[in-house]
């Protein structure tokens, strides 16, 4: 779909969710995200072919953050477009370059202590290791054409180095998974998975940052296109979800002075939100652990070790 002149949204489905990449076609050709391992061959390259753009002409591939549905196609894309620079956020580099690191340090870092994580490990969708050529820390600008630049934004929360691109000419923000609402929707409607932000305070500052940016249209990795008031509402809903999780976790710990396991807290939060599907609620391990880390750092909770399962309780 052509969103603006020479700006394209490339769509496919993964796990019942929409999965979007974006293409900016000017003097330079910029692709945003590479999908899962098979997305280049099945979706991106056929799309370029229909536009009569040779992959040889791709200049830059920006991977917004370390997740298998955004970086899984890195190796395949780089093989098809060897002249393109592969780029990601500086703080995400190690995870973007290597599916092994992605699973060890992001998806399964809680498995041993808390019994939550991803199987199989690694999943084939995560693709092959591929070094990145260039890292962004935010504040850079990418020239697409003489009168057209994309501003690189560092918008952490979902990951440490999460990137978004801002197209000032079109007042359009390409935010990938930087903003979560109350969860990620299925293409057919209803929620597919919980919110998966992890760094709570920087996520809140990212939300504030987007509120201060002139955005007419918001384009993401999975959510529907939003415009005007919808953008404001989406950001407000995202903040309310953070506040809800914080309240539920604190109240649950207060009610259970002996402590709770991470899984019990995930269930408490999922019950409070109400419509996260049962088969994906364990993904709320990211925000729940993030909120707990914040509570511990503020001195409001402590980690307990019992029966080899780490539990947590609130210090009153």
CB of 70 to Zn ion, least distance (A): 6
Would you say 67 or 97 has its CB closer to Zn ion?
Answer: 67
From residue 290, give the alpha-carbon distance in Å to each of 1, 8, 131, 148, 222. 36, 34, 28, 38, 22
Task: Bin 289: left if φ > 0, else alpha if -120 < ψ < 50, else beta.
Answer: alpha
Q: Residues 84 to 123: which contact Zn ion by CB under 5 A?
A: none
User: Considering only 60-68, 123-131, 253-261, 262-270, which stretch makes contact with Zn ion by CB under 5 A?
Assistant: 60-68
What DSSP character marks residue 224? P
Q: Is the Cβ of residue 81 or residue 283 nearer to Zn ion in the bound state?
A: 283
Instruction: Return the axis-axis angle of helices 229-255 and 262-273, rounded to nearest 10°.
Output: 130
Site string for Zn ion, 177-216 (x = CB under 5 A): x---------------------------------------
Under the binding rule (CB under 5 A), the answer on residue 221 touching Zn ion is yes
**Closest distance to Zn ion from the beta carbon of 65 (Å):** 8
| Closer residue to Zn ion in complex, CB, 92/149 | 92
Q: Considering only the stretches 42-50, 61-69, 98-106, 109-117, report the one whose residues sit in contact with Zn ion under the rule CB under 5 A.
A: 61-69
Q: Which residues of 111-139 are buried (b: 16+ CB within 10 A; e: fewer)?
A: beebebbbeeebbebbbeebebeebbebe
CB nearer to Zn ion: give 262 or 283: 283
Contacts with Zn ion by CB under 5 A: the residue count is 4
The smaller minimum CB distance to Zn ion, of residues 177 and 267, is found at: 177
* Cβ neighbours for 41, distance < 8 A, ≥ 6 positions apart: 76
Q: How far apart are CA 109 and CA 285, in angstroms?
A: 10
Consecutive H or E run containing 270: helix 262-273
Q: Which is nearer to Zn ion, 69 or 149 (CB)?
A: 69
SS3 sequence of 129-186 = CCCCCEEECCCCEEEEECCEEEEEEECCCCCCCCEEEEECCCCEEEEECCCCCCCEEC
Please tell me the chain's helix, strand, coil percentages from 3-state DSSP, rounded to the nearest 5: 40, 25, 35
Question: Least Å distance between CB 208 and Zn ion?
Answer: 22
Q: Going residue by residue from 149 to 178, which x/- string records binding to Zn ion, judged by CB under 5 A?
A: ----------------------------x-
CB of 260 to Zn ion, least distance (A): 29
Q: Between residues 95 and 314, which has the closer beta carbon with respect to Zn ion?
A: 95
Q: How far is the CB of 261 from Zn ion (least distance, A)?
A: 27
Degrees, nearest 5: CA angle 120-124-126:
100
Tell me the closest approach of the beta carbon of residue 114 to Zn ion, in angstroms.
Answer: 22
Q: In whole angstroms, how close is the CB of 183 to Zn ion at the nearest point?
A: 12
Residues that bind Zn ion (CB under 5 A): 67, 69, 177, 221
């Amino acid at each position: 779909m052509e969103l603006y002149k020479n700006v394209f949204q490339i769509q496919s489905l993964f796990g019942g969710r929409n999965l979007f990449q974006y293409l900016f076609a000017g003097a330079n050709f910029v692709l945003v995200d590479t999908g899962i391992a098979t997305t280049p061959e099945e979706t991106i390259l056929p799309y370029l072919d229909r536009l009569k753009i040779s992959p040889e002409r791709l200049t830059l591939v920006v991977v917004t953050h370390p997740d298998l549905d955004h970086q899984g196609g890195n190796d395949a894309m780089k093989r098809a477009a060897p002249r393109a620079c592969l780029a990601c956020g500086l703080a995400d580099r190690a995870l973007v370059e290597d599916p092994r690191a992605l699973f060890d340090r992001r998806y399964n870092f809680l498995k041993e202590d808390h019994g939550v994580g991803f199987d199989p490990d690694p999943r084939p969708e995560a693709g092959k290791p591929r070094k990145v050529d260039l890292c962004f820390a935010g504040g850079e600008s990418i020239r697409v054409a003489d009168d057209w630049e994309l501003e690189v934004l560092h918008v952490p929360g979902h990951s440490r180095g999460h990137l978004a691109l801002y197209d000032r000419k079109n007042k359009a923000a390409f935010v990938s998974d930087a903003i979560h609402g109350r969860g990620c929707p299925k293409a057919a409607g209803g929620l597919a998975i919980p919110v998966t932000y992890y760094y709570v305070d920087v996520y809140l500052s990212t939300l504030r940052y987007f509120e201060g940016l002139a955005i007419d249209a918001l384009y993401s990795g999975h959510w529907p296109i939003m415009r005007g008031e919808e953008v404001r509402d989406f950001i407000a809903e995202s903040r309310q979800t953070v506040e809800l999780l914080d309240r539920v976790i604190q109240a649950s710990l207060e009610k259970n002075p002996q402590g709770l396991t991470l899984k019990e807290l995930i269930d408490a939060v999922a019950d409070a939100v109400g419509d996260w599907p049962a088969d994906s609620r364990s993904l709320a391990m990211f925000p729940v652990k993030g909120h707990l880390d914040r509570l511990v750092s503020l001195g409001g909770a402590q980690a307990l070790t019992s029966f080899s399962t780490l539990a947590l309780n609130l210090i009153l």
